[in-house]
Chain A
Amino acid sequence: MLKKEAVIQNKLGIHARPASSIAKLAGSYKSKITIEKDGISANAKSIMDLLILEADRGSRILVTADGEDEKEVVSAIIELIGRGFDEE
């Protein structure tokens, strides 16, 4: 199991398009992946779970992955968040 923290940087936070990007990315990996914010945990392969996190700009989130490709998926998601979901 691998955990890593990150801060949401894009202007609108995890709204529809970023949530789609995360779910799509997560869906291509085998590991079990969750994203946690303020004690609420979302399955990263569930777009609806991700949306109700309401992670806006500045939110601290915790990415957790468990499985054979946990290392790759955690760094891929952290990178995606770091790039501000390629928005703006």
Chain B
Amino acid sequence: MKNKLIRGVPASPGIVIGKAVRYGSEKLKGSKVQEFKGSMVKGDEVQKFESALDTVRRELELIREDFLSRTDEHHARILDAELLVLEDETLMKNTIDGIKKGASAIESFKASMDQALKGFDRVKDEYIRERVADIRDVAERILHSLKGQSRKLSLRKEKHILVATDLVPSDTAMLDKKIVTGFATDLGGETSHTSIMARALKIPAVVGLKEITKFIETGEEIIIDGNHGVVVIDPDERTRRAYEKRIREFQEYERELLSLASLPCKTIDGHSIELACNIEIPEELDAALDYGASGVGLMRTEFLYLEKLPGEEEQCKTYSSFAKKIYPHSLIIRTLDIGGDKLIGLGLNPTPTSEIRDANPFLGWRGIRFSLGRQDIFIAQLKAILRANKQGNVKLLFPMIGGVREVLEAKSCVEEAKAQLSREGKTYRKNIEIGVMIEVPSAALIAGAIAKEVDFLSIGSNDLTQYTLACDRGNIKVQDYYNPLHPAVLKLIKRTIDAAHSVRKWVGCCGELGNHPLALPILIGLGIDELSVAPLYLLEVKKNIRALSMDEARIIANEVLSLETEEGVKRYVKEMKKKIPVIREIMEKYEE
């Protein structure tokens, strides 16, 4: 389709032109495995088997596409048969039965496969006997995947752009960024795993394109504009040239930003701001270091809990490797912040006797409330964090604190974790800095009392806005009501910063407000000590900070805080644009 333009969600910045490879269909839904699993509760090995099948399915589909694009239908058909082996009911049933009897996924699959292949021994038909090699190929792939030796997803050697319905974590984990230069998907949003991964790997990506897989064939040329969330299929010469120009401009802008990585994060008049990174998946840490982050201001730990409950050892290993990598800078680890439907995936129901979700997940059993309710899980995490603090650069952060009570209870859990470690003879540092997220309005209102109990506060502006304005930011119908620059939110932020400073504690902000260009002068003017933003925004924020003066920022903060209506804030912002050149420049970029 010549020069077809499709709009989606910009997931990862950058522009790239290349050949597309369309890849795979949807994730395995209601698979055979689920059918045979039945009422089995402990499904670790079953899950392992299922995800191995999933991985292999994707590998095979990719190869199949490759054959089809070279119009090699004969081989593509063989792949059809191989794909059916993944659905083979007898093989699935026998493997799951074996696991139910206590065998590991590997043992049980091997035994079932051997049994199936034995049947071919007495087959006389040469043509059918030849198929055994194909079946063995599938078996090998499944075994490989079960042993965790996944192959690279990019089976092609030439560079290409991946186009898929959606990518699951196991796919993106296999992406070779030297070969996959960009991707576009039907599904996904700005915060989906695929998008975070793309940003971490610095691969331009557009997601949420709805039906792009229907419009594109493998081998067609495609442009991915990750800055604006646009994809062009089979561009004509003029479009192509226009984008080549944009690529050059963007590369120049990136170079300019990268030159800031090693420069100090200071306002024009010499006021230093700590500029750290938020990390959601391990891959982001490299990006954070490349961009010169002064530490990790928020390490989310939910990724460890996506499929199962991680043990103390596994967690300790992960946290230790992060702490080592970022040293001498600090690593602030936020304890588990899940709730609502995410618990069900772990087999932990919000209500013990039913599978019904919390009626109001955001007001329900989440964050610290969950941790205090399940201290077995909480203390295992605390022990792992304490042990990972070998060099003394790790700090603890508690989410969803509403008042002093939770702070005290969480702190006594830390003491319990220390006592257990001592009894077990494991080494750890006695001193660890503890901080609290200020994201519930009640906590902001009594921030002084909370700050006395801890070493630092970190404002979670997204949730603070959502809870203050009683507005679900994921709900399109009320998105106009979600406004982090609402006077009420700004007043709570000011109150938090002042309260912490009055007891000589530092305050950071780890929400999206930190990379909101207009909020930046306000936060700095209010005296925020640290900003923690996604790696992607780090250098842009630094650039903006370096263009501001503290005097200006204080005046802006003062005036904005005196405004009582949203309209007033909006009007002020408009005027600010006229009056102050730096703000104008920042805003014009923002509105582009």
Binding site for B on A (CB under 8 A): 12-13, 15-17, 19-20, 23-24, 27, 43, 45-49, 51-52, 54, 56
Contact = CB atoms under 8 A, between A and B. Distances in A.
B77 A47 contact: no
Interface in B52-94: 77-78, 80-81, 84-85, 87-91
A59 to B, nearest CB: 12
Interface in B109-141: 116, 119-120, 122-125, 127-128, 131, 135
A15 B91 contact: no
Contact of B135 (A12, A15, A23, A48): A48
A54 B124 contact: yes
Contacts of A49: 88, 90, 119
Interface in B236-273: none
Contacts of A23: 84, 87-88
B123 A54 contact: yes
Given A16-B128, A51-B128, 19 more contacts: A15-B127, A15-B128, A15-B131, A20-B84, A23-B84, A23-B87, A23-B88, A43-B89, A43-B90, A45-B89, A46-B91, A47-B81, A47-B84, A48-B85, A48-B88, A48-B120, A51-B123, A51-B131, A54-B124
Contacts of B87: 23, 27, 45, 47
B373 to A, nearest CB: 41
B90 A54 contact: no
B185 to A, nearest CB: 26
A4 B88 CA distance: 23
Contact of B81 (A13, A20, A46, A52): A20
9 smallest CB-CB distances across A and B, nearest first, come from: A45-B89, A46-B90, A52-B119, A47-B84, A46-B88, A48-B116, A46-B89, A20-B81, A43-B90
Given A16-B81, A23-B84, A51 B89 contact: no
B120 A52 contact: yes
Contacts of A19: 81
Contacts of A51: 120, 123, 128, 131
A56 B85 contact: no
15 contacts: A13-B125, A15-B128, A15-B131, A16-B77, A16-B128, A19-B81, A20-B80, A23-B87, A46-B89, A47-B81, A47-B87, A48-B85, A51-B128, A52-B120, A52-B122
Contacts of A45: 87-90
A48 B123 contact: no
Dominant SS among interface residues on chain A: helix
Contacts, number: 66
B534 to A, nearest CB: 43
Nearest to A17: B77
B84 A24 contact: yes
Contacts of B89: 27, 43, 45-46
A56 B78 contact: no
A17 B75 CA distance: 12
A27 B123 CA distance: 24
Contacts of A24: 84
Nearest to B94: A46
B123 A52 contact: yes
Nearest to B119: A52
A19 to B, nearest CB: 7
A56 B123 CA distance: 12
B140 to A, nearest CB: 15
A12 B125 CA distance: 10
B125 A54 contact: yes
A11 B509 CA distance: 73
Contacts of B78: 16
A10 to B, nearest CB: 13
Nearest to B77: A17
A24 B84 CA distance: 8
Interface in B364-402: none
Contacts of A52: 119-120, 122-123, 128
Given A17-B77, A20-B81, A52-B120, A47 B88 contact: yes
A56 to B, nearest CB: 7
A45 B116 CA distance: 14
B125 A15 contact: yes
Residue picked from B88, B89, B90, B131, most chain A C-beta under 10 Å: B89
Nearest to B132: A51
Nearest to A44: B89
B81 to A, nearest CB: 5
Contacts of A20: 77, 80-81, 84
Nearest to B85: A47
A54 B89 CA distance: 19
Contacts of B119: 48-49, 52
A42 to B, nearest CB: 8
Contacts of A47: 81, 84-85, 87-88
A15 B134 CA distance: 13
Contacts of A54: 123-125, 128
A12 B128 CA distance: 10
Residue picked from A16, A23, A45, A48, most chain B C-beta under 10 Å: A48
Nearest to B87: A27
Contacts of A46: 88-91
Contacts of A43: 89-90
A3 to B, nearest CB: 20
B127 A12 contact: yes
A58 to B, nearest CB: 14
A84 to B, nearest CB: 17
A20 B84 CA distance: 7
